[in-house]
Amino acid sequence: MKQLDVALVMLRVFFGLALAYHGYNKVFGGGGLAGTARWFGGIGMKWPKWQARLAAATEIGAGVMLALGLATPLAAAGFIGIMVVAIVVEHWKVGFFVFKPNQGWEYCASIAVVALFIGTVGAGKYSLDHVIHQHVEKWSFHGWTGAVISAALGFGGAITQLAVSYRPSKK
């Protein structure tokens, strides 16, 4: 269905490039990577310098991969992992609505749901996944397989990251 393929391109490119730019900003924005690491340390991350690099690399890598439609369930998993960590660490305590001071978790959850949707339905006809599938038959990870890969790796990665390295300050 041509409309679905065009809609998938729009979703993938917008959300992919937006997340990639968010990661770019962690490295080159305001305080640079050092500022991101200081902020990560302030919110309870155990290894803030490494986690700042990991977060930026995941955002840039998963964002570009999603925009291109390359290994789409893995890209979606990166999105889900980043958003779940952001929700738990920073946004949950504020409440649901994004318009609240310090922003609630509404927007991060929306991004994670969009990523899970794309991971489930696949990148569509206008993607590198589709081109690769034309040459390698077994390269088709969408439907329930894409959903399971996206959700399991995304939530699993987030839970692991939080369990191993998140130490919120006790108030």
* pLDDT, tens only, 77-94: 999 999 999 999 999 999
* pLDDT, tens only, 36-78: 999 999 999 999 999 999 999 999 999 999 999 999 999 999 9
Distance, in Å, from the CA atom of 149 to the CA atom of 71, rounded to the nearest integer, reads 11
Nearest CA to 11 out of 122, 90, 154, 166 is that of 122
Tally helices (H) and strands (E) across the chain: 7, 0
